[in-house]
Amino acid sequence: MCLSPNEYLDLKDDVIEDILPLANEYQAISILKTCEAWLLKEIDLKEAKSKTMISDLEFLLKFYYYSGEYNLPNLHERTLACLVPFTLSSCKQIEKYYRRLTDRDKLELFEARIEKLDSLHYGSTSCHSKYSHFLQHPSTAAVKTIYDPPGIMPGGLYLPSIPPLH
């Protein structure tokens, strides 16, 4: 990577930790993109070595932190997908990076895990099929009604709503 016309630098994990904050502070977009490409290549290498999913949770959380902190969208999407199989408690055990994640990134990770669990359990990611499966479950038969006014899901499940402001 070229930092100035006469300087080249081999990227390594410890160098990235130093470069990303500076590139972000000085809005050096090309350096941020170069770092993101290197980080994505590191994920590819880890996946190639493991031949399945990456099991190094600290590695993934660190890269997920970088993606949110330095606005690296491709890295963000990739690391989020890799983190979904891990439990929330295992992520929290890697305090060094988990506590540094923004609330938005934690929420996004949590929602991605919930969506994955829903798709495994209900067989679809569409909202209607998730709820219709739930409503067909015998334990919800008592909740069903014959009408569907506003605020009532198909099948009669009541969802409280906030009245609109006029």
- Three-state secondary structure call for residue 101: coil
How does residue 45 score in pLDDT terms, banded at 50, 70 and 90?
very high
With a CB cutoff of 8 Å and minimum separation 6, the contacts of 91 are: 57, 61, 83, 98, 109
- Res 136 pLDDT > 70: no
- Dmax (CA) of the chain: 76
Q: Compare 7 and 79 and report the one with higher pLDDT.
A: 79
Among the residue ranges 45-54, 85-94, 108-117, the one predicted with the least confidence is 45-54
- Res 85 pLDDT > 50: yes
Q: Compare 151 and 73 and report the one with higher pLDDT.
A: 73
Residue 155 CA to chain centroid, in angstroms?
A: 32
Q: How confident is the model over 133-156, as a mean pLDDT?
A: 44
pLDDT of residue 124: 53
pLDDT of residue 133: 44
pLDDT of residue 54: 84
Q: What is the spatial distance between Cα 62 and Cα 59, in angstroms, rounded to a whole number?
A: 5
Q: Compare 71 and 13 and report the one with higher pLDDT.
A: 71
Among the residue ranges 57-71, 105-119, 137-151, the one predicted with the least confidence is 137-151
How big, in percent rounded to 5, are the helix, strand and coil portions of the chain?
A: 65, 5, 35
Q: What is the spatial distance between Cα 134 and Cα 128, in angstroms, rounded to a whole number?
A: 10
With a CB cutoff of 8 Å and minimum separation 6, the contacts of 20 are: 32, 35, 66, 69, 70
